[in-house]
Amino acid sequence: MNILVCDDEKEIAEAIKIYLENEGYTVFKAADGLEAIAQLDKHDIHLIIMDIMMPKMDGIKATMKIREEHHIPLIMLSAKSEDYDKILGLNIGADDYVTKPFNPLELIARVKSQLRRYTALGSMETKQHIYQTGGLILDDEQKLITVDGEPVYLTPVQYKILRFLTVNAGKVYSIEEIYEKVWNEPSFHPENTVAVHIRKIREKIEINPKEPKYLKVVWGIGYKVEKI
């Protein structure tokens, strides 16, 4: 397993590297958020340990940027102990939080725990039948959809629409494109058909269908599932 340690304090980064390598992990280092993002493009990383206070790009901004494309476990480090920093870190995508100074054995335990969970649940990068955006998870092998851990039950057509848009999260598709992909036939005035199914899906996956978090309209173009 490959772990990325991002901390501008060289002594701390090196100490963490030594502890992790003693446990059999391969460790890459970065001194700021920009360097961490560059490392992700070069290496297959399975977990990130991210400090908050760093030059060039801090851990908060780096985590937000990383979460646009990656769903690997991320543990935040900070010398700060205020609840606000912990809540902010978790809200923007961190999976766990460790306050400096920390016990190396505790950090190793948290690393192992996150990697076990990551391996057991799978991820978009390692299990291509599981697709996730925010709290919306689509398991295409079991044909199971959950939102914030709660199962959602869709009709076969609704499932196909949501699957198509979730697999391609972030991309906008016209009504005609959605119809042709889901029904496998040329579209002929499909507006009402697709719109009705979209409305039904929203009623099932959104807390407030009128202000959707996941399934959004791009006026004049079509629909997309937001990439969170």
**Domain locations in the chain as residue ranges:** 2-121, 130-225
φ, ψ of residue 118 to 5 degrees: the values are -65, -45
Provide the pLDDT for residue 124: 41
Provide the pLDDT for residue 88: 73
Provide the pLDDT for residue 17: 93
Provide the pLDDT for residue 25: 92
Rounded CA separation 153/97 (Å): 34
Considering only the top CATH level, what class is 2-121?
Answer: alpha beta
- Walking along the chain (228 residues) 10 residues at a time, the average pLDDT comes out as 91 93 92 91 89 86 85 83 66 82 89 78 56 90 89 91 93 92 75 87 94 93 91
Q: Quick one: tokens of 205?
A: 């996956």
Rounded CA separation 158/145 (Å): 11
Q: Quick one: tokens of 201?
A: 């899906």
Statement: 130-225 belongs to CATH 1.20.810.10: no
